[in-house]
């Protein structure tokens, strides 16, 4: 959500004072009087998955360099004897001769791919998957050469390298995969990642592992689905009674929760899953205003989801006070409240501009528009919305970064032709952590939402969990 100033453990700022912005990026907040003394010198919290801003002159995080290490969104498996389990139609991989393969730097990617595939599936299936990768690379090359002339063999080599690296990571973790997941979530998803990075400068977040009910957070994933279903149903009943022109989907709530911090919590901060800070944990920056404006919805969600949201924020002396942190289901229900609040805000902005209502737009377009408002407070123009929806923003994000050099650190992005040369030259994807641009963050989550729709069966075409 929109970046807020560093917040105290107890106090919440009711307002986010924002400087006007003309470039469509998240405005920089003015310093707050409600800064907790322990956090005052800590800088922006690194785990807030919104459009985190920095005061002018602040040093950028070192990991934002294009030469930084690649990032994986895959979760760690459960420890031996933990709660991990395999899908019924997938099997743990067979062992391979690691000494013979050495590292990716010392072995041909095609050899690595051959070995890893055969650890998962029989020879005929492995051959068919290798053929599918070659066909996928051929189709990918046909699209990439529209950006800049490039060699088909280079595209095949680099796609093979990224697929092989993906398989190495999963194989070493003992992650079970069947032929279908190898095809969709490894081969096709890596092609999607490469193409999206070239087309936008940003690669999509990978959320496949947060809904498969496997590994160490299987129980929390099941609870996430149950809470999202109940929350969406309650929100939509409330919206219907309020005669709102739009509804919310389970996919919107799940992806927003994951993007705003839920993925980090499930992946590497599992000890906090039953004690989640509404702002520092899942980016609900405007919770004080939202919970007041939508108090009837808060009460309905408490009834339907079994939460106690109503008492989380109290007002003392005219200032909002955080009385406690969220339990896990409360984090999903709280996200639902604020998603409705932001969707209402987006609808008001559209009406004020005489533009088409959210209710008459496709679901993915509603998601993009509201996510941009959620992250910046701004209503973006129709051309930008369409290009984000298509994951084809070209060099606009790079141009924004270059134009903002005087007041903000550079975004870890490249324009299309340079991004293509970067990857085909064998370089890794740049580390892309939280930064200051709403467009940057919404591209990450729009890509994640599309990835879930294209490469998993988690949601139907109406955004409902299957």
Last residue of a domain, one of 155, 183, 204: 204
Report pLDDT for 28.
27
Q: Is residue 465 part of a domain?
A: no
191 with 253, same domain? Answer: no
If asked whether residues 313 and 358 sit together in one domain, one would say: yes
Is residue 194 located within the same domain as residue 295?
no
Instruction: Pick the closest to residue 444 from 269, 298, 308, 263 (CA basis).
Output: 263
- What is the structure's pLDDT at 92? 73
- 29 assigned to some structural domain: no
Asked if the structure places residue 227 within a domain, the reply is: yes
CA angle, 79 then 85 then 88, to 5°: 155
- Same domain? For 249 and 369 the reply is yes
Q: What angle do CA 313, 317, 322 make, to 5 degrees?
A: 20
Q: What is the mean pLDDT of each run of 10 residues along the chain (466 residues)?
A: 41 35 34 26 29 33 34 39 43 65 63 94 98 98 98 98 95 92 98 98 96 92 98 98 98 98 96 97 96 98 98 94 97 98 98 98 98 97 98 97 96 98 96 95 98 97 97
**Are 182 and 240 found together in one domain?**
no
Same domain? For 118 and 173 the reply is: yes
Has residue 179 been placed in a domain?
A: yes
Tokens encoding 394: 């070209």
Cα 210 from Cα 328, distance rounded (Å): 14
State the DSSP string of 99-139: HHH--TTTS-HHHHHHHHHHHHS-HHHHHHHHHHHHHHHHH
Q: Report yes or no on 270 lying in a domain.
A: yes
Q: Are residues 271 and 379 in the same domain?
A: yes
- Among 204, 239, 255, which residue terminates a domain? 204
Task: Report the distance separating Cα 141 and Cα 155, nearest Å.
Answer: 6
Q: Decide if 89 is inside a domain.
A: no
Q: Are residues 107 and 155 in the same domain?
A: yes
pTM of the entire structure?
0.81
Domain count, the chain: 2
- CA-CA distance, 376 to 24, in Å (whole number)? 8
- What's the pLDDT score for residue 32? 30
Determine the pLDDT at residue 7: 35
177 lies in the same domain as 246? no
Contact assessment for residue 440 and residue 400, using Cβ atoms and an 8 Å cutoff: no
pLDDT at residue 433 in the model: 93
Residue 202 corresponds to which tokens in the numbers above? 């940003």
Q: How high is the pLDDT of residue 103?
A: 52
* Within a domain: 84: no
Same domain for 194 and 306? no
Same domain, 191 and 224: no
Residue 418 lies in a domain: yes
Domain that holds residue 172: 98-204
Of the candidates 204, 236, 265, which is a domain's last residue?
Answer: 204
Q: Are residues 285 and 309 in the same domain?
A: yes
């Amino acid at each position: 959500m929109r970046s807020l100033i560093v917040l105290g453990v107890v106090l919440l700022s009711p307002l986010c004072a924002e400087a006007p912005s003309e470039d469509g990026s998240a405005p920089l907040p003015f310093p707050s009087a409600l800064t907790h003394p322990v956090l005052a010198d800590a800088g922006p919290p690194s785990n807030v998955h919104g459009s985190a801003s920095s005061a002018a002159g602040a040093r950028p995080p070192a990991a934002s360099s294009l030469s930084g290490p690649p990032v994986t969104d895959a979760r760690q498996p459960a420890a031996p004897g933990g709660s991990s389990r395999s899908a019924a139609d997938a099997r743990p991989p067979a062992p391979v001769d690691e000494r013979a393969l050495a590292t990716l730097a010392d072995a041909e990617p095609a050899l690595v791919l051959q070995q890893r595939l055969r650890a998962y599936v029989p020879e005929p299936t492995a051959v068919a998957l290798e053929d599918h990768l070659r066909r996928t690379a051929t189709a990918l090359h046909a699209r990439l050469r529209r950006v800049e002339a490039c060699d088909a063999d280079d595209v095949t080599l680099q796609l093979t390298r990224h697929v092989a690296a993906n398989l190495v990571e999963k194989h070493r973790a003992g992650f079970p995969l069947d032929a279908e997941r190898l095809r969709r979530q490894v081969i096709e998803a890596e092609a999607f990642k490469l193409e999206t990075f070239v087309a936008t400068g940003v690669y999509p977040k990978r959320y496949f592992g947060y809904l498969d009910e496997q590994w160490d957070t299987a129980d929390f994933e099941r609870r996430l689905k149950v809470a999202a279903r109940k929350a969406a149903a309650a929100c939509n009943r409330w919206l219907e009674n309020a005669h709102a022109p739009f509804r919310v989907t389970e996919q919107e709530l799940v992806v927003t929760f994951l993007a705003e911090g839920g993925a980090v919590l499930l992946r590497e901060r599992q000890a906090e899953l039953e004690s989640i800070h509404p702002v520092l944990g899942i980016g609900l920056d405007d919770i004080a205003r939202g919970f007041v404006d939508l108090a009837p919805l808060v009460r309905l969600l408490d009834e339907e989801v079994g939460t106690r949201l109503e008492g989380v924020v109290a007002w003392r002396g005219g200032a909002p006070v955080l009385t406690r942190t969220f339990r896990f289901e409360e984090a999903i229900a709280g996200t639902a409240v604020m998603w409705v609040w932001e969707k209402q805000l987006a609808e008001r902005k559209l009406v004020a501009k005489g533009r088409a209502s959210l209710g008459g737009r496709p679901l993915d377009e509603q998601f993009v528009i509201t996510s941009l408002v959620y992250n910046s407070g701004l209503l973006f123009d129709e051309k930008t919305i369409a290009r984000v929806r298509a994951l084809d923003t070209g060099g606009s994000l790079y141009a924004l970064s270059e134009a903002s050099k005087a007041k903000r650190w550079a975004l870890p992005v490249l324009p299309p032709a340079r991004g293509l040369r970067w990857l085909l030259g064998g370089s890794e994807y740049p580390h892309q952590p939280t930064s200051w641009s709403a467009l940057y963050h919404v591209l990450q989550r729009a890509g994640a939402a599309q990835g879930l729709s294209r490469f998993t069966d988690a949601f139907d075409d109406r955004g409902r969990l299957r």
